[in-house]
Structure 1
Amino acid sequence: MVAAGLAVFMAMLDSYVVVVALPDLGTSLAVTPGLLPWVVLGYSLAMAAVVLPAGRWLDGVGHRPALLAAVGAFATAGIGCALAPSIEVLLAARVVQGAAAAVLTALTPVLAAVAVAPQRRGRAMGVVSVLGPLGALTGPAVGGWLAEALGWRALFLINLPVAMTVAVIALRSLPSGQPVSGPDRRLVAQVALLGGAVLAILAGLSLASRADVAWAATALLAVPLLLVWARLPSSAPVLQLLTVRSVTGGLVALALVSVVTSGLIYAVPLALAGRAGSTAVESGLALSALSLAMLVLAPVAGVLADRFGADRVARAGAVLAATGLVVLLPLDPTWGVPDLSWRLAVVGAGTSLFVGPNQAMLMTAAPRPLLGSTGGASGAARAVGFGLGPALVAATWTSTDAVAGLRWSLVVLCSAALLAAGCLHASGRRFRTAT
């Protein structure tokens, strides 16, 4: 279980750690402004495209060899990023790294689910599932310090000790299992279709600020690609999984709460940057309250889920996160870091109460032969949410007033949290274990 937690933390940390160093990276490699965002987007796109097929692949391979292969690919690609002589090499390595991160993301809940008895699954998921968002929150803070001290290339080496630790733990604690075989052509076709769909959606959202309908037309290109994907025979297990009502509700809720987390990561620094005298350190301190609350309450969330029911605790967590967003709405330009921090801590507490219990509910409700697919679907939902959060904030940030812009964003994020609670309620007060 320790290996699972470290793996997902490593994957999510690397998705955001480079953000603060993009200007220095662009200068060093003489990158054009249009290519620079793809250092982040290439990783995210590969992760979103691969995570669902990766879950299906994991249903048929051993967990230890799959984990070792993914960690090895991730670490090797990180070294390639650090040594990249050009932006083209860097982008290629980032795509490989994102694909490896997708396998780690899909595998993590599976490892946690099989490591403990079902009645203790909430505690296991409470600790493991919160480490992904924590990695995303930690990335910019660690990246800023490390880039300033050692340069941008060091950012891609930060996870090497973590990767080595995961590999050692896996070799010592996991059974050998079936040997790893490469994905077949059907899974490769899934990656191509899902990657095209995600690319269309991201491209459409990037055009959302335009007055014409080009953004909607671009995003709608994802629809035929998803329809073709749904008709592939290799997609049948995932579609079968979605017939389980509690699984569908849990996945939609997970995507919505991921929108909340990623939206705040984007919105809070943007709002503070528009205030005179504000610094990046203040943004980091404010967001650290969010991550600290998540970390402290993760074990508590697991205990509560095992005692009172994972679905009930997850619903309460989504409502608490919405409450934290509501108390942020009266935002005043005179607020300091403490004023923001305790309110963000309420959001973090709600997120922590949601994430672990919701993942426990998903892994318990899913048929055992489809645990890998369930992990992949969870990773896909999380990736979609993390991609949509900043895009929705940017689309609603129509005011030049930073405070007004943040308020509109908070309304959107609060709506997402309440919708997540509604999805869990609609999927049934008590979920049935699928057989």
Structure 2
Amino acid sequence: FLLARRSLPADAPTERASRFDCAGALLLALTLSAYALAMTLGRGRFGPQNLAWLLAAAVGVSAFLRVEARGAAPLVRIDMLRDPALGGPLIAAALVATVMMGTLVVGPFHLSRALGLDAMGAGLAMSMGPAISMLAGVPAGRLADRFGADRVSLAGLAAMLAGAALLAALPASLGIAGYLAPLAALTVGYALFQAANNTLVMAGQPADRRGLVSGLLNLARNLGLVTGAAALG
């Protein structure tokens, strides 16, 4: 916060920025809360309570879209979501995050029960994913700039598909190598996809929408993470 306050240039105040969509923000918060409860209550079993929260989330989405369509200064402009150049990448980000969260949920059980690792060994094995993601981020961005975001995005999805297939198909007799090799392919693919997908979404946005679009990307990823954890659980 201090670095941003000191280093970033201040935006010129605008009429739209002077107002805040309180109704839209409240509806969005309630809708997301209802969806999170629908995905997490029941300890892995989907029952009437989960269905009720899911219906509440659906009603919340409908009310949010109606409020945003009529608002003078909406939190999210509905016409933006109709744009395939934005809507497609947002859906892809959510689906990819769902897959990644699935691997994170199943990983500890596979490492401890199938491979017999203790808690520390399982944690060290799983830490390879974040380490690869950290190291692959900058090269992935450069590849997206050099070869085009579309190509790199497809390459990332192909690597993720190969990693997920190997993770499911390789026998436990291969030991830790049979887990780490597919995880490496999956994580590299995720890094490639993230860099390219973010470039696709952000490159065509005007300056006054980039903060909003960045927030929508994070929202899509978080929805995918919640859905992946709940579905695999």
TM-score range with shorter-chain normalisation?
Answer: 0.7 to 0.9
Structure 1 residue aligned with 2:181: 342
* Aligned equivalents of 2:122, 2:227: Cα separation in 1: 21
1:194 partnered with 2:41: no
Q: Are residues 188 and 270 of structure 1, via their aligned partners in 2, closer, same or farther at CA, if it must alter by over 3 Å? A: farther
- Of all paired residues, the percent bearing the same amino acid is 29
Cα root mean square deviation, aligned:
2.5
Structure 2 residue aligned with 1:122: none
1:330 partnered with 2:169: yes
1:226 partnered with 2:61: yes
Matches within 5 A, 1:11-90: 68=1
Residue correspondences, number: 225
Partner residue of 1:245 out of 77, 84, 90: 84
Matches within 5 A, 1:138-149: none
**Contact in 2 for aligned 1:293/1:346 (Cα 8 Å):** no
Q: CA deviation at 1:208?
A: 7.5
Structure 1 residue aligned with 2:42: 207
**Please, which runs of 5 or more residues in structure 2 have no aligned partner?**
none
**Please, which runs of 5 or more residues in structure 1 have no aligned partner?**
1-67, 69-166, 395-435
**Contact in 1 for aligned 2:89/2:197 (Cα 8 Å):** yes
1:311 partnered with 2:145: no
Q: Are residues 373 and 211 of structure 1, via their aligned partners in 2, closer, same or farther at CA, if it must alter by over 3 Å? A: closer
Structure 2 residue aligned with 1:98: none
**Contact in 1 for aligned 2:167/2:178 (Cα 8 Å):** no
TM-score scaled by length of structure 2: 0.85
Matches within 5 A, 1:254-333: 254-275=93-114, 277-333=116-172
CA offsets 1:252-273 (integer angstroms, 9 cap, x no match): 1111111122222221013323
Q: Are residues 189 and 292 of structure 1, via their aligned partners in 2, closer, same or farther at CA, if it must alter by over 3 Å? A: same
Amino acid at match of 1:286: A
Q: Are residues 357 and 236 of structure 1, via their aligned partners in 2, closer, same or farther at CA, if it must alter by over 3 Å? A: same
SS of the aligned residue for 1:221 comes to helix
Partner residue of 1:383 out of 219, 222, 229: 222
* Aligned equivalents of 2:75, 2:127: Cα separation in 1: 41
**Contact in 1 for aligned 2:115/2:176 (Cα 8 Å):** no
Amino acid at match of 1:290: G
Amino acid at match of 1:389: G
* Aligned equivalents of 1:388, 1:241: Cα separation in 2: 24
